Amino acid sequence: MHNGAGRRGMWLWAAALAVYAFLYLPLLIVIVYSFNDSRLNAEWVGFTWHWYDVLLHDEDMLAAAGNSLFIAVVSSFSATVLGTMAGIAMYRYKMKVLTFMVMAPVAMPEILLGVSLLLFFIQVLNLTLGMLSIVLAHITFSIGFVAIVVRTSLAGLDESMFEAARDSGASPWETFRYITFPLILPGVIAGGLMAFTLSLDDFVITFFTAGVGVSTLPLRIYSMIKIAVTPEVNAVSTLLMLLTLTIIVLASRIAPNVLRFKT
């Protein structure tokens, strides 16, 4: 057998298992320590819900979580609408400039988008940094992710269906409304969920476009691990992991191909 039976297969399994352990060990440690009855992340003392209780009474953290959710909802909704349009345009009209503008923010280092938007908001728009600037920035980087997913779903469709619709006298809008859209809807939803988690998790671009007044969950986590590490970070991390895990599993159920990065 070529597919790795025998001793060689064992080596492959061992190497892969080691990598899986490398991927999961750090996160397991965070989860375990979120229940540790100690102020230090050093040794296991005993089980406690204390850090979750601290978290639930941390006003700043709750406000940051509220901001994060609001920003994620507004920006992922807008990015889903714009990204779906972009994905359709990229697939149907093969516009090179649009494709470049959609893909570039996804491909370039995040810091470049962050600082250029900071400059633009302050120097050109004369905008006070805060909620609005964060939402605008998040839409910019999310459009591309939604567009890629939508284009992938379109590429998987059978062209003859559109021809059949046209031949039976459907207008382009009717074809879209009754045929194309229902078929790509799973992709659109998966893209939207992706934009939602990206917004919820974004640190770099938010860091540059937030200003001083508004904080988000990742910004709070950053200042906690930079300044004073308490096991409260473990608790908020565990909850955030649980949330993204749910969304990812949901997205993978809705559109399995999307998460496998298949085209």
Q: How many residues does the chain have?
A: 263
Write down the least CB distance from residue 188 to another protein, Å: 14
- Which residue has 């909704």 as its token pair? 77
Angle CA 35–38–42, to nearest 5: 95
In the window 35-64, what residues touch another protein (CB under 8 A)? 40-43
When the beta carbons of 46 and 124 are compared against another protein, the nearer one is: 124
Single out the residue of 170, 183, 203, 254 in contact with another protein (rule: CB under 8 A). 203
Total residues binding another protein (CB under 8 A): 91
Single out the residue of 10, 19, 161, 164 in contact with another protein (rule: CB under 8 A). 19
φ/ψ (deg, to 5) at 110: -60, -35
Taking alpha carbons only, the member of 114, 117, 125 closest to residue 203 is 114
Write down the least CB distance from residue 156 to another protein, Å: 15
In the window 90-149, what residues touch another protein (CB under 8 A)? 92-95, 97-98, 101-102, 104-105, 107-113, 115-120, 122-124, 136-137, 139-140, 143, 147
Examine residue 245 and tell whether it contacts another protein (CB under 8 A): yes
Of the chain, the end-to-end C-alpha distance in Å amounts to: 30
Q: Residue 21 burial (CB < 10 Å; 0-12/13-18/19+)?
A: exposed
Q: Cβ atoms within 10 A of the Cβ of 209, count?
A: 28
Examine residue 172 and tell whether it contacts another protein (CB under 8 A): yes
Examine residue 233 and tell whether it contacts another protein (CB under 8 A): yes
Examine residue 208 and tell whether it contacts another protein (CB under 8 A): yes
